[in-house]
Structure 1
Amino acid sequence: MDIRDMRYFYAIIEEGNISSASKRLNIAQPAISRQMKQLEDSLGVQLFERGSRRIRLTEAGQLFRERVERILGLVDGTMKEMTEFNSGLGGTISIGSVTTSGVALLPNLISKFHGLYPSVTFRIWEGDGFRILELLDNGIIEVGIIRAPFDSEIYESIILPDEPLVIAMKRDECYCGKDPVNVRLIELANQPLIVPLRWKSMFVEWCAKAGFTPKIICISDGIVLNILWAKLGIGMALVPKSTEGLISDSALTYKKIIEPTVSTQTVIVWVRNRKLSASSKHFLDLLRDVSSE
């Protein structure tokens, strides 16, 4: 087993099937299939479940994926550091982001950074907050953009200003009070709610202080999926206000939660005491400047 085998394996996982991975790697599909079979033979385990059009990992394959992420993260990070010794600021910055925060923050930020450092390229990962932290821990990305809360003992951070939380609901079933733009928290009592996992404990606590137990019908960190549920009238989705700009739909309405106003924070995180590439340090410096404006 060598680094090439790991890159082939990881390309298959990222692309979802061997055919797409072969195009990305510019290698014939049968050659990759043979390489993966040889890898399984050398490891003495089956990594992939056979008979599925889309790649599915066995339990051993899931464990191998975790190890490969860490190894490739170390290899790529080392390559970046060595390159910067001679070539100055360059290479690729790997960033992971939750959907709503990334859409709101990254386009303008990357545009400014590219104007200053045109030789630097970017690789962007997207997922829920738990997946972003997993990628960060494994060294696949250097910088993560997530929503609070987070463990400040593990991660250093830049905390951006508060962002209100809103309730997204089907417009023709908008029965939470008469106010067209706001909803009091108590008015959500007995309403079917879709709540992201990372805010569940805080939301339940807020509702308890308001005198009721929320009727949570689904816990999901997929903001886009939650909005689709709300559009179908299955429930009302708790989402950050920036979602309004991300998903604008005439069938939906968004109401800011008041009495009390509840909010979230976008947080830029990186692993404490881990060396960052020069490019990532400059990116964080720019982000600090932008966030203080």
Structure 2
Amino acid sequence: MKITDYELLIKLNEIGTIRGTAKVVLISQPAVTQRLKYIEEYFGVQIFLRTSKRLKLTPAGEIILEHAKEVIEREEYILNKLAKSSKEVHGTLSIACSSLISQRFLPKILGAYTNQFPKVAIDLVTGISEDIRLDHKNYDVCIIRGDKLKESTCIRLFADPLYIFDTEPFPEDGVKERPLISFKSDDSMHELVDNWLYYQQASIKPLKTMTVDQIETCKQFMKQGIGMAVLPKSVSDSMMEEYPHLPLMLDGKSVTRDTWVCYQEDSRQLPQVNHFIEALTATIFL
């Protein structure tokens, strides 16, 4: 059995389907099926029941999955221990990152990092900050938006001002009545927008709210004239010059969305983690 076999079992259990797992691990469905067959033959038991909806662990499968997690944790422990004792930086760096940051900034940062430390294995998970918070202890470094993590060391990377955009001008007098397009995010983002709109009732009144899955979809809908959209400066690019917009202000201050890098102090003792945090804090984001 290889480490990759144990990792495959964990992914199959997390995702629940062979097809979905094949997409994530970037190999064909037949290859995943064949690998699972080999693993079951190796242990001599059925690990998953194939139901119409998803794979379900058998009692024997639960025991094997627990063993798989222990094997992977032990492997990472040994690699990290070796990394501490070596002058050359290697080992595994596990990162959980906000989708916005992973799309907009992380590729360049990781590109430079992996060029400098090519022997470091990167384990990256992306998603909304709210989901990352629930599972943050499973990662060396978390990059999140909104409030910082409790019981963690957190460094603010940057404050991201929010703007409301539309294809139609914002009148100086009267009430602007337009649909509002929002994107899937965590509660803190929606609270910032809702709170600002509450104080703008005399000038801006959303007729209805349309929620889309991603921030890029939200931008494209706004550009097609479907409605207004509140977007952070970090993803606005040339939109400032092309579309009518207003900064979100309250009490004379910009409404901003903070981005944090959070970690446990023990993790920073690992060279690969420390170098990555240093790369993040040295980056000029806006």
User: Which residue pairs with 1:74 in the alignment?
Assistant: 73
Deviations 1:67-122 (A, max 9, x none): 79975773453133222144332123222222322334324433443454343343
Q: Are 2:85 and 1:110 equivalent residues in the alignment?
A: no
User: Which residue pairs with 1:146 in the alignment?
Assistant: 144
User: Which residue pairs with 1:203 in the alignment?
Assistant: 193
Query: How far has the Cα of 1:200 moved from its partner?
Result: 1.3
Q: Contact 2:145–2:260 (CA<8 Å) still a contact in 1?
A: yes
Q: Contact 1:10–1:68 (CA<8 Å) still a contact in 2?
A: no
TM-score scaled by structure 2? 0.68
1:289–1:58 Cα change, 3 Å = same
Q: Take 1:274 and 1:187, find their aligned partners in 2: how far apart are those partners?
A: 54
User: Which residue pairs with 1:286 in the alignment?
Assistant: 279
1:262–1:188 Cα change, 3 Å = farther
Q: What secondary structure, in the 3-state scheme, does the structure 2 residue paired with 1:126 have?
A: strand
Match for residue 162 of structure 2 among 162, 165, 175: 165
Q: Take 2:226 and 2:70, find their aligned partners in 1: how far apart are those partners?
A: 43
User: Which residue pairs with 1:236 in the alignment?
Assistant: 228
Pairs within 5 Å for 1:121-270: 121-137=121-137, 139=138, 141-151=139-149, 153-169=150-166, 174-177=167-170, 191-194=179-182, 196-198=185-187, 199-211=189-201, 217-219=209-211, 222-231=214-223, 233-245=225-237, 253=243, 255-260=245-250, 261-270=254-263
What stretches of structure 1 of length at least 5 have no aligned partner? none
Q: Take 2:212 and 2:262, find their aligned partners in 1: how far apart are those partners?
A: 22
What amino acid is the match of 1:98? S
Q: What secondary structure, in the 3-state scheme, does the structure 2 residue paired with 1:266 have?
A: strand
Query: How far has the Cα of 1:211 moved from its partner?
Result: 4.1
What stretches of structure 2 of length at least 5 have no aligned partner? none
Q: Take 1:214 and 1:69, find their aligned partners in 2: how far apart are those partners?
A: 51
Report which of the two has the higher share of strand.
Answer: 2
Q: What secondary structure, in the 3-state scheme, does the structure 1 residue paired with 2:170 have?
A: coil
Q: Contact 2:76–2:92 (CA<8 Å) still a contact in 1?
A: no
Q: Take 1:206 and 1:254, find their aligned partners in 2: how far apart are those partners?
A: 18
User: Which residue pairs with 1:119 in the alignment?
Assistant: 119
Q: Take 2:192 and 2:107, find their aligned partners in 1: how far apart are those partners?
A: 30
User: Which residue pairs with 2:91 in the alignment?
Assistant: 91
What amino acid is the match of 1:147? R
1:79–1:187 Cα change, 3 Å = farther
Q: What secondary structure, in the 3-state scheme, does the structure 2 residue paired with 1:175 have?
A: coil
What amino acid is the match of 2:209? I
Query: How far has the Cα of 1:147 moved from its partner?
Result: 0.8
Q: Take 2:98 and 2:231, find their aligned partners in 1: how far apart are those partners?
A: 12
Query: How far has the Cα of 1:228 moved from its partner?
Result: 4.1
Q: Contact 2:222–2:229 (CA<8 Å) still a contact in 1?
A: yes
Q: Take 2:175 and 2:75, find their aligned partners in 1: how far apart are those partners?
A: 51
Cα RMSD, aligned residues only: 4.5
Q: Take 2:279 and 2:208, find their aligned partners in 1: how far apart are those partners?
A: 40
Instruction: After superposing the two structures, state which structure 1 stretch, 276-285 or 107-116, moved more.
Output: 107-116
Query: How far has the Cα of 1:227 moved from its partner?
Result: 2.9
Aligned residues: 266
Q: Take 1:222 and 1:36, find their aligned partners in 2: how far apart are those partners?
A: 39
Q: What secondary structure, in the 3-state scheme, does the structure 1 residue paired with 2:267 have?
A: coil
What amino acid is the match of 1:194? S
Q: Take 2:108 and 2:170, find their aligned partners in 1: how far apart are those partners?
A: 37
Q: Take 2:160 and 2:178, find their aligned partners in 1: how far apart are those partners?
A: 25
Q: Contact 1:147–1:267 (CA<8 Å) still a contact in 2?
A: yes
Q: What secondary structure, in the 3-state scheme, does the structure 1 residue paired with 2:282 have?
A: helix
Q: Are 2:264 and 1:275 equivalent residues in the alignment?
A: no
